[in-house]
Amino acid sequence: MLVKNVNFGKATAKITVETKVQDKVADGQKYGEETIAESTVEIVAPNGKIVTDASKATIIGERSIVGKAETQGSEVAEEINNTIKEMEQELLNQETEEVSEVEVAEKIIEDAGNAEKLMTKEEIKEWKKGYNNLVNEGGEGYIPHKVNKEDYDWAVMTLAKNENGSVKENETEIAISQQPYIDGPADEKPIYRALGIDQEGNEYEVKWEVVDYWQALEDESEMCDWDSPAEVEAI
Rounded CA-CA distance 200/174 in Å is 10
Average pLDDT value for residue range 99-110: 85
Does residue 174 sit within a domain? yes
Residues 84 and 107 in one domain: no
68: Cβ–Cβ under 8 A, 6 or more apart, which residues? 51, 52
Residues 138 and 167: their CA atoms lie apart, in Å, by 47
Ramachandran bin of 86, using left for φ above 0, alpha for ψ from -120 to 50, beta for the remaining angles: alpha
What span, in angstroms and rounded, lies between the C-alpha atoms of 43 and 68?
Answer: 9
Question: Each residue of 220-234: pLDDT tens digit?
Answer: 889 999 999 999 999
In the prediction, which pLDDT does 28 show?
64
Helix (H, G, I), strand (E, B) or coil at 196: strand
Has residue 159 been placed in a domain? Answer: no
Q: What is the pLDDT confidence band of residue 187, given thresholds at 50, 70 and 90?
A: confident
Residue pair 32/24 in contact (Cβ under 8 Å)? The answer is: yes
Alpha-carbon gap, residue 50 to 68, rounded angstroms: 11
Residue 157 lies in a domain: no
Residue 12's domain comprises 2-95
**Domain end (from 80, 95, 110):** 95
Give pLDDT, residue 211.
93
State pLDDT tens for residues 16-64: 999 888 887 766 666 667 778 899 999 999 999 999 999 999 999 999 9
175 within 8 A of 203, measured Cβ to Cβ: no
